[in-house]
Amino acid sequence: METQQRIKDVRRSALTLSLMSDQERNSLIDKIKDALDSNREYLIEENKKDLFSAKEKGISDSVLHRLVFDDSKINSCISSLIAVKKLECPTGKIIAKRELDEGLILEKVTYPLGVIGMVFEARPDAMVQIISLALKSGNGIILKGGSEAFNTNRAIRKVIHEKLKSDDYILLLESHQDVDDMLKMDKDIDLIIPRGSNKFVKYCMDHTNIPVMGHADGICSIYVSDKADLALATPIIVDSKIQYPAACNAVETILVNNNIASSYLPVLKKALEEKGVKIHGDEEVSAIIDCIPSSEDEYDREYLALELNIKIVGSIEEAINHIAAHSSHHTDCIISTDQKEIDTFYSSVDSADVFSNCSTRFADGFRFGLGAEVGISTGKLHARGPVGLEGLTTYKYQLSGSGQIVKDYAAGTKQFTHKELM
Site for a second copy in 223-252 (CB under 8 A): 229, 231-232, 235-236, 238-240, 243
The one among 89, 164, 246, 409 contacting a second copy by CB under 8 A: 409
Q: Does 422 engage in binding with a second copy (CB under 8 A)?
A: no
Give min distance, CB of 309 to a second copy, in A.
Answer: 20
Select from 196, 197, 240, 249 the least CA-distant residue to 365. 249
Closest separation in Å from C-beta 199 to a second copy:
13
Minimum CB–partner distance for residue 281 and a second copy (Å): 24
Contacts of residue 150, Cβ cutoff 8 Å, sequence gap at least 6: 50, 174
Give backbone dihedrals phi and psi of 97, rounded to 5 degrees, phi first: -145, 130
Closest CA to 386 of 371, 397, 396, 399: 371
- Contact indicator for 181, 3 with CB cutoff of 8 Å: yes
User: Binding segment for a second copy among 57-65, 72-80, 116-124, 363-371 (CB under 8 A)?
Assistant: 363-371
- Only one of the segments 108-116, 127-135, 145-153, 283-291 lies at the binding site for a second copy (rule: CB under 8 A); that segment is 108-116
Nearer to a second copy, 55 or 187 (CB): 187
- Is the Cβ of residue 42 or residue 416 nearer to a second copy in the bound state? 416
Number of Cβ within a 10 Å radius of residue 117: 28
**Is position 395 an interface residue for a second copy (rule: CB under 8 A)?**
yes
> What residues from 305 to 324 belong to the interface with a second copy (CB under 8 A)?
none
**Within 149-168, which residues bind a second copy (CB under 8 A)?**
none
| Residue 297 CB burial class (10 angstroms; 0-12, 13-18, ≥19) | exposed
SS3 280: strand
Binding of residue 347 to a second copy (CB under 8 A): yes
Q: Which range in 1-9, 73-81, 305-313, 367-375 contacts a second copy by CB under 8 A?
A: 367-375
205 forms part of the interface with a second copy (CB under 8 A)? yes
Could you please report the per-residue DSSP string of 251-268? EEEEEEEHHHHHHHHHHH
CA end-to-end span of the chain, whole Å? 48
Distance CA 168, CA 6 (A): 8
CB atoms within 10 A of CB 419: 12
- Does 42 participate in binding a second copy (rule CB under 8 A)? no
**Residue 352 found at the interface with a second copy (CB under 8 A):** yes
Q: Which of 8, 158, 202, 414 binds a second copy (CB under 8 A)?
A: 202
Q: Is residue 368 close enough to count as binding a second copy by CB under 8 A? A: yes
Site for a second copy in 79-98 (CB under 8 A): 98
The residue (of 57 and 405) whose beta carbon lies closer to a second copy is: 405
Please report whether residue 113 would count as binding a second copy according to CB under 8 A. Answer: yes
Site for a second copy in 114-143 (CB under 8 A): 114
Handedness of CA 22, 24, 28, 30 (dihedral sign): positive
142: left (phi over 0), alpha (psi -120 to 50) or beta: beta
Distances (CA, A) of 376 to 370, 391, 407, 411: 12, 10, 47, 49
412 binds a second copy (CB under 8 A): no
DSSP β-bridge partners for residue 278: 307
Site membership for a second copy, residue 13 (CB under 8 A): no
Angle between helices 40-56 and 150-164 (to 10 degrees): 160
Residues 64, 109, 271, 304: which binds a second copy (CB under 8 A)? 109
385 touches a second copy by CB under 8 A: yes
| 15 counts as binding a second copy under rule CB under 8 A | yes
Applying CB under 8 A, the span of 57-65, 173-181, 300-308, 373-381 interacting with a second copy comes to 373-381
Contact segment (CB under 8 A) with a second copy among 198-206, 279-287, 295-303, 311-319 equals: 198-206
Distance, in Å, from the CA atom of 284 to the CA atom of 277, rounded to the nearest integer, reads 19
Residue of 48, 291, 404, 414 interacting with a second copy (CB under 8 A)? 404
Contacts of 368 (CB under 8 A, 6+ apart): 362, 385, 386, 388
- Least distance CB 172 / a second copy (angstroms): 24
The neighbouring-strand residues paired with 141 are 116, 170
